Structure 1
Amino acid sequence: MSDIEKVDELLTKAEVFYLSTVDGNKPKVRPLGFHLLKEDKIYFGVGTFKTVYKQMEENPNVEIAAWDGEHFLRYYGVANLDKQEEIAKEALSLMPEVAELYNANGWEMGIFYLDNATAEIRNMMEVEETYEFNY
C-alpha cells in the first residue's frame, strides 16, 4: 500500500474529518466527508459559493484532522484549487443527493488537493508515521 493510500484509508475509516482554514487571522473548522483518491492525489470538494472556498483562495494553508478510532491524522499543506471539471463531475456522481442540490441551484463544486503536504499518523502520544507529498 502506498503512502497516499494509507492516508486515504484512514480518512475512509474516520468517515467524517475536519478541514481547518484561516478566516482573516482566526482559524475556522468544519466537518467534511467526501474524499476521492485519484492519480495518487486525494481530492476534496466544497462549494465554490461557500465561505470555506473563498478562505482557501485568500490563504491556501489548510489542515485536515481525522480520528479513525485508533489513530489521529494531521494532513496539512497548501490547497491547490484544481479546476478539473472531470473530477468535480465524478465527485458529484458519487454523491447524488449533493449533485441534485447543486444542479437545482446552479452551484459549482470546487475541487482541491493538498500540495507541499505532510501527513502525520499519530497515536495519543507520538507520531507513528510521517509522509510528504509534493506535486
Structure 2
Amino acid sequence: MALEGAERIDEFIGEAKVFFLATVDGDKPKNRPLGFHLLKDGKIYFGVGNHKDVFKQMAENPFVEIVALVETDFLRYYGKAVFEETYDFAESIVRGNEFLESIYNDETGFKLAIFHLEEATAEIRNITGEIMESYNF
C-alpha cells in the first residue's frame, strides 16, 4: 500500500469521524457505522468484534466497502478484508481503553478482530460523482 495514499485515506476517514462498513449477508447488503481506524506501517486497520454478525459475514465473503462523508465529498474504499492472524495487535489497542476493555475481555470471551483491505481501491468523489482522487492498494 502506498503510504501517501494510505495517509490521505486515513485523514479523510478521521475528518468524517464515523464511517460505514458494507458487507453481504447471504444475498442482502448490510451496513453499520464504525469509528475505529488506525494507520500503521502504511496500512489502515479497522476492527470488528469476533462475536458479531459482521465478522461472520466477512469470513464468508471478505469483499467489503467503506464509505465516509466529509461535507459534500465522499470516500468509497473497497476491497478484500484480510484479518490479522493473531489477536496480539488487537489486545494492544484494547488495553487502556476503558470502553473497549469492558467489551473485549476474558470474562466475555469477545475479541476485537483487526483487518485491513487488500486488492483495494479508494476513490474520493464530489457530490456529482466526479472522482477527485483515486488510489489502488
Shorter-chain TM-score: what band?
over 0.9
* SS of equivalent residue, structure 1 residue 2: helix
Describe the shift of the 1:94–1:70 C-alpha distance in structure 2 as closer, same or farther (beyond 3 A): farther
Assess if the C-alpha contact under 8 Å between 1:63 and 1:77 holds in 2: yes
Question: Per-residue deviation at 1:70?
Answer: 4.1
Q: Which residue of 2 aligns with 1:5?
A: 7
State whether structure 2 residue 135 is matched by structure 1 residue 131.
yes
Q: Could you tell me which residue of structure 2 aligns to residue 75 of structure 1?
A: 77
How much does 1:2 deviate?
1.0
1:47 maps to what in 2?
49
- Shift of residue 91, structure 1, vs aligned partner: 2.3
Q: How many residues align?
A: 133
Q: Which structure 1 segments of 5+ residues have no match? A: none
Residue type matched to 1:87 in 2? F
2:120 alignment counterpart: 117
- Who is 2:17 aligned against? 15
- Distance in 2, Cα, partners of 1:54 & 1:38: 25
Q: Distance in 2 between matches of 1:94 and 1:118?
A: 33
Residues 60-86 of structure 1 show CA distances to partners (whole Å, capped at 9, x for unaligned) of 010000012242000000000112433
Q: CA RMSD, aligned part only? A: 1.4
Residues 1:66 and 2:68 are matched in the alignment: yes
| TM-score (ref. length: structure 2) | 0.91
Instruction: Report the 3-state secondary structure (helix = DSSP H, G, I; strand = E; otherwise coil) of the residue aligned with 2:51.
Output: coil
Match of 1:91 in 2: 93
TM-score by length of 1: 0.92
| Kept after mapping to 1: 8 A contact 2:124/2:131 | yes
Unaligned runs of 5+ in 2: none
Higher helix share: 1
What is the aligned counterpart of 2:33 among 25, 31, 38?
31
| Aligned equivalents of 2:12, 2:102: Cα separation in 1 | 28
Which segment is superposed worse, 88-97 or 121-130?
88-97
Percent pairwise identity:
50
Shift of 1:36: 0.6
Deviation at residue 98 of structure 1 after TM alignment: 1.5
**CA shift digits 1:70-108 (9 cap, x unpaired):** 420000000001124332023213643112222141211
Runs (4+) off by over 4 Å: none
